[in-house]
Amino acid sequence: MEENMKKTPIFVLAVLMVSGLAQAQTDTRSTIYVTGTAEVMVTPDICYLSLAVETFHKEIGQAYKENNEITNKVKKAIEAEGIEKKDMQTTGFYISPIYDYDDYDRQELVEYSVSHYLTVKIRDLDKVPEILDAAVKGGATSVDNVSFTVENPKDYTQEAREEAVKAARKKAETLARLNGVSLGRPISISEAEPGGYSYYSNYYAQSSLAGYGGYRNGGGAPLEQGEIKLTHTVYITYEIK
């Protein structure tokens, strides 16, 4: 018991010494924290065409059969334009009953709808209008979206990063000058992950093609690729003197 009591002050002294060292190591430098953001405009290199085939029939089996037949025609028409199967993906498939209601709110089955949603990746942007026309002529009943974007945005990371760092430096120099101090070296630097990019692209959307003879007759839809804005952000802490 007496031996344990003698050791206690040594332990307390060690804790006090560690605490004193931690306080001595506290960073007391004056700093300025800034963010820098840069936007880089990029020409699209990929297009995603989202379309659908929708069929209706009183017999669910017939609605399903007709949908498969038309969807296969659409796929073959797109393949004939040079699109490979690996660049076509089913993004949704639905079978739904459609009801009608009488004056007493009693439901009656009218027919079934079968919807097959397909997304097509187009690498040759000059062929987008032709591929869209081929899909419509093949039997696609709606085009949900045509979007132009960049397949590998990280390819433009370095340019955006350099511009963001320049923007942060300029902002820090301005703040230092306005406060009568001199800007020192950067103490810490971080940046947003690639997920922090923002993508903006031109798009064309048409909810339904039923009754639109212009599409059925071809001629090429007036699509514009536009440009895409990639935004990158850095966070920098500078020492001030």
Domain ranges of the chain: 46-150+203-223
Q: What is the pLDDT of residues 38-73, one digit of tens each?
A: 998 989 999 999 999 999 999 999 999 999 999 999
Give the Cα separation of 60 and 111 in Å (integer). 8
Give the Cα separation of 125 and 107 in Å (integer). 48
Pick the closest to residue 237 from 38, 23, 27 (CA basis): 27
Whole-Å CA distances, 54 to 63, 151, 204, 210: 9, 29, 20, 11
Average pLDDT over the chain, rounded to whole? 82
**Residue 202 above 70 pLDDT?**
no
| CA distance between the termini of the chain | 56
Please state which architecture CATH assigns to domain 46-150+203-223. 2-Layer Sandwich (3.30)
Mean pLDDT within 203-217: 44
Mean pLDDT within 4-12: 46
pLDDT bin (cut points 50, 70, 90) of residue 32 is very high
Provide the whole-model pTM: 0.67
* pLDDT given at position 182: 93
Counting residues of the chain whose pLDDT is more than 70, the rounded percentage is 76
Give the Cα separation of 18 and 66 in Å (integer). 79
Query: Would you call 223 exposed, middle or buried from its count of C-beta atoms within 10 A (0-12, 13-18, 19+)?
Result: middle
* pLDDT given at position 219: 55
* pLDDT given at position 90: 97
Distance of CA 116 to the CA centre of its chain: 23
* pLDDT given at position 26: 62
* pLDDT given at position 81: 96
Least confident segment among 17-21, 129-133, 229-233: 17-21
* pLDDT given at position 79: 97
pLDDT bin (cut points 50, 70, 90) of residue 25 is low
* pLDDT given at position 221: 63
Mean pLDDT within 27-36: 88
Least confident segment among 104-113, 173-182, 200-209, 224-233: 200-209
